[in-house]
Amino acid sequence: MSDSFRTPSVLAPVRGPVLFADDEGFAAEAAVFNTAVAHRPYVVVGASDEADVRAAVRFARQEGRSVAVLNTGHGPSVSVSDGAVLITTRRMAGVEIDAGQRVARVEAGVTWGQVVEEAAKVGLAPLAGSSPQVGVVGYTLGGGVSIALGRAFGYAADHVRAVEVVTPDGELRHVTPQTSPDLFFALLGGKGNFGVVTAMVFDLFPVTEVYGGFLQFAGEDARAVLEAYRVFAAGAPDEVTSSVVFLRAPDLPFVPEFMRGRLTVLVRVAYLGSAAEGQALVAPLRAAATALVDTVGMMPAAQVAAIGNDPTDPGTAVEHFAMVGELSGEVVEAILELAGPDSGGEITLVNLSQLGGALGRPAGRPSAVRRDLAFAVFALTVVPPGVPGLEVDRGAELVGRLAGLDGRKHPGYLSPSDAAVESVRLAYDEATYERLRTAKTEWDPQNMFRWNFNIPPRA
Ligand X SMILES: Cc1cc2nc3c(=O)[nH]c(=O)nc-3n(C[C@H](O)[C@H](O)[C@H](O)COP(=O)(O)OP(=O)(O)OC[C@H]3O[C@@H](n4cnc5c(N)ncnc54)[C@H](O)[C@@H]3O)c2cc1C
Looking at the Cβ atoms of 79 and 289, the one nearer to ligand X is: 79
Show the beta-strand stretches assigned E in 139-208.
160-166, 172-175, 196-203
Report d(CA 162, CA 270) in Å as an integer. 28
- Return the number of the residue (87 or 339) whose C-beta is nearest ligand X: 87
**Cβ at position 195, least distance to ligand X in Å:** 7
Report, in Å, the least distance between residue 280 CB and ligand X: 26
- Nearest approach, Cβ of 190 to ligand X (angstroms)? 10
Three-state SS sequence of 9-47: HHHCCCCCCEEECCCCCHHHHCCCCECCCCCCCCEEEEC
CB of 43 to ligand X, least distance (A): 17
* Nearest residue to 321 (alpha-carbon basis) of 372, 377, 396: 377
Nearer to ligand X, 193 or 432 (CB): 193
Task: Return residues touching ligand X (CB under 6 A).
Answer: 32-33, 69-77, 89, 108, 129-131, 134-135, 137-139, 141-142, 144-145, 147, 191-192, 196-197, 310, 412, 452
Distance (Å, whole) CA 103 – CA 385? 43
The residues facing 107 across adjacent strands are 199
Q: Which is nearer to ligand X, 58 or 286 (CB)?
A: 58
Of 135 and 366, CB closest to ligand X: 135
What is residue 268's three-state secondary structure? strand
Of the pair 288, 455, the CB lying nearest ligand X is at 455
* Closer of 288 and 355 to ligand X (Cβ): 355
Please name the amino acid found at residue 264: T
Tell the burial category of 455 from Cβ atoms under 10 Å away from its Cβ (0-12, 13-18, 19+).
buried
Q: Which is nearer to ligand X, 340 or 411 (CB)?
A: 411
Closest CB to ligand X among residues 137, 225: 137
Residue pair 371/359 in contact (Cβ under 8 Å)? The answer is: yes
For residues 394 and 347, the answer to whether their CB atoms sit within 8 Å is yes
CA distances from 416 to 146, 216, 392, 446 (A): 22, 29, 17, 23
For ligand X, which is the closer residue by CB, 142 or 278?
A: 142
**Residue 219, Cα to own-chain centre: how many angstroms?**
27
Handedness of CA 319, 323, 327, 328 (dihedral sign): negative
- Determine the Cα angle at 301 with ends 296 and 303, to 5°: 70
| Radius of gyration (C-alpha) of the chain in whole angstroms | 22
Which residue, 288 or 454, is less far from ligand X as judged by CB?
454
The minimum distance between CB 162 and ligand X, in angstroms, equals 14
Report how far residue 270's alpha carbon sits from residue 150's, in angstroms, rounded to the nearest whole number.
Answer: 10
Shortest reach from residue 221's CB to ligand X, in Å: 25
- Closest separation between CB of residue 211 and ligand X, Å? 19
**Minimal distance in Å, beta carbon 444 to ligand X?**
12
Is residue 269 within 8 A of residue 285, CB to CB? The reply is yes
* Helix, strand, coil percent values for the chain (each to nearest 5): 30, 25, 45
Residue 428 identity (one-letter amino acid): Y
Looking at the chain, how many residues does it have? 459
Distance in Å, CB of 252 to ligand X, minimum = 19
Q: Give CA–CA dist 311/308, Å, rounded.
A: 9
Q: How far is the CB of 142 from ligand X (least distance, A)?
A: 5
- Contact of 160 with 143, CB cutoff 8 Å: no
Least distance (Å) between residue 77 CB and ligand X: 6
